[in-house]
Amino acid sequence: MPTLHDRESILGIDPGSLVTGWGLVQVDGNHLTHIAHGTIATSSAYTQGARLRRIHQGIQEVLRKFRPSGVSLERVFFARNPASTLKLGQARGVALLAAAEHETAVFEYSAAEIKVAVTGFGQATKQQVQKMVTVLLCLRGEVAVDAADALAAAICHIHRRDFSAQARRAAVIAQISGTLAHKVPGEIIVDVGGVGYLVFIPLTVFYRLPEVGEPVNLQIHTHVREDALQLFGFHDFSEKQVFLLLNGVAGIGPKLALNILSGIPAEDLTRALKEGDQVRLVSIPGVGRKLAERMIVELKDKLAVLAPDFSEIKKSADGSQLLQDAVSALVNLGYRKPDAEKSVRDVLKRGERSLEDVLKESLRRMSP
């Protein structure tokens, strides 16, 4: 039977001149397991040298006991108070020394990188990091802030190691299937093989979610910024497509696009834009008259070509998900929507039931 030492484990350290947090996370494939965490406390009554000796001894004890594969900690930063910066740098120094003495590899990340890895947002508060660490590692009870920051550093390295190459691409994740681990209006956590993904959702998606602990499948748009990697989830490709179109309008970012879809279903929004219904649009929270006019001007023609006609799909006798997916795929390839719908309907009448077969036959019929 494998022991802890046979598996890869990462020790996160959050250095501090008074309290240093530490946390050990084991990774097996995509599964994260909390092993242990704690703090190394000193006292303001000690000299700085005595504090550093205590931190060094405490970290050495942890390294001897658990023998981690690597150590992860926050990269050095500059604060306004030079004295505080110096003391923090000294605490980091003894942590690096302890790791070097045990010949343990050290990995350093910025504060924003650690927060993004755990919460999806580079400006998250310590309390948000603390909460997400508890959820991701399925911990019971509250974890001290310093220990939570250390566990976040460990999780950051594991995620960066596995996904850093993918994270540099705009379309990192296009779909997520897993278990709904947590849900509140506006955001959820999906557990995929032991890794929790924070996904932002409109209220229209929240209302249709299953209960916590049940399977969930969402279409995903990955939004990459310098200080954040955010996932936005939708029930189907059509809803995601409308979200992306909204993002293309000047003055509308992901957050406002999500708010818009929370205030009106994608089907009703599509209809209002096609009909130029400015009154309906300005009734959406966050949308004023000028923005409504801009949305109509910029999206009316695009919706006719790219976005699905929800009403037609609903009215069709065979308006299945398969029909919708096949038509959307053909439209994205450049075919006219009426031609794509006719071809797909004809193919479906023959009894084809897989998306791949429907597309192959539809493309064959539409080719000159």
Active site residues per annotation: 14, 74, 146
Alpha-carbon distance of 211 to 25, in angstroms, equals 28
Q: Are 220 and 231 in contact (CB under 8 A)?
A: yes
Return the closest-CA partner of residue 92 out of 9, 13, 10, 12.
Answer: 13
Q: Are 328 and 237 in contact (CB under 8 A)?
A: yes
Q: At what angle do helices 145-167 and 111-119 cross, to 10 degrees?
A: 80
How many CB atoms neighbour CB 113 within 10 A? 21
Return the closest-CA partner of residue 181 out of 223, 224, 138.
Answer: 138
- Going by their DSSP bridges, the two strands 8-14 and 70-74 should be labelled as parallel
Alpha-carbon distance of 197 to 38, in angstroms, equals 25
Return the half-sphere exposure (C-beta side, CA atoms, 13 A cut-off) of residue 156. Answer: 34
Q: By CB neighbour count within 10 A (0-12 exposed, 13-18 middle, 19+ buried), where does 207 fall?
A: exposed
- Length of the chain equals 368
Alpha-carbon distance of 134 to 129, in angstroms, equals 9
Alpha-carbon distance of 51 to 46, in angstroms, equals 6
Q: Are 204 and 259 in contact (CB under 8 A)?
A: no
